[in-house]
Amino acid sequence: MELRGLRDDVYRRPLATALDRLGIGPGWTCVDVGAGGGDVTVALAEIVGHDGRVYAVDSDPLARDEVASAAAANSQVLAITQAGEDLRLPELVDLAFCRFLLMHVLDPSVVLARMASAVRPGGWVVAQEPITSAGRIAGLPFSMPDARHPDIGALLPALVRQAGLHIVDAWAEAPAGAGPGPVATYLEHLTEVDPGDDPVVLPPLVTVVAQVPSA
Ligand SMILES: C[S@@+](CC[C@H](N)C(=O)[O-])C[C@H]1O[C@@H](n2cnc3c(N)ncnc32)[C@H](O)[C@@H]1O
């Protein structure tokens, strides 16, 4: 699947694979929870087109401005300042998506339950979260002390199941590299440390593609 909106996003491959599983297309309605700067929001907007709608939800009001500017050409994007724990949309959507969100929230199961209840019967929930400590820089494990649940990816399939969703597919995938390139650039952006020629395996992203039971 072509994801022009993701540009040089190193985690674009697991996203493309997940969206392929859904058969997402023009006219779909989606919510990107914890949308941040809107990379995924824009990718979704380009897929659903002007007949679809993408709600970009984030608890940080600054994210709304960032998404608005990233999605300026996509009038189907509606940016909302709202916590995932309070997720409430004007309609049931076809897809609720989150990436690198549950690792930061107080209680991931509360947010997953809200995402599930935002989706129409038979619709989809896709969550992508890391196992931070499984990443490696020069053979040494990553750490992310600021995140509440840095290794939540390891629990993600169980959490999704506990939310009453039917898991259709789940896997883990990690970008890797050595020397200059997108992986080193991403790491430098994240940590402000240039890994030089050290080998890097970024934290594996666990993807869970799940379906809301039909009514
Ligand atoms: C690491 S960024 C991920 C951005 C985007 N999902 C991506 O993959 O590029 C995490 C985002 O989640 C937002 N966030 C954190 N806690 C939240 C919550 N409880 N409800 C909604 N958004 C939240 C932050 O403001 C931030 O924009």
One digit per residue, the tens of pLDDT, for the chain of length 215 reads 444 444 457 898 999 999 999 999 999 999 999 999 998 999 999 999 999 999 999 999 998 888 888 878 888 999 999 999 999 999 999 999 999 999 999 999 999 999 999 999 999 999 999 999 999 999 999 999 999 999 999 999 999 999 999 999 999 999 999 999 989 988 888 888 889 999 999 999 999 999 999 97
**85 Cα: distance to centroid of ligand 1 (angstroms):** 12
Distance in angstroms between the alpha carbons of the first and the last residue of the chain: 30
Interatomic CA distance for residues 97 and 93, integer angstroms? 10
**101 Cα: distance to centroid of ligand 1 (angstroms):** 5
**Angle (CA) 167 39 53, round 5°:** 70
Query: Domain of 82?
Result: 4-129+148-172+205-211
Domain-located, residue 91: yes
Interatomic CA distance for residues 82 and 88, integer angstroms? 8
Domain-located, residue 198: no
H-only helix segments in 50-137:
61-70, 108-117
Q: Is the CB of 51 under 6 A from ligand 1?
A: no
Interatomic CA distance for residues 192 and 17, integer angstroms? 29
CATH number at residue 20: 3.40.50.150
Cα-based distances in Å from 89 to 56, 63, 78, 92: 11, 18, 11, 7
Interatomic CA distance for residues 14 and 171, integer angstroms? 9
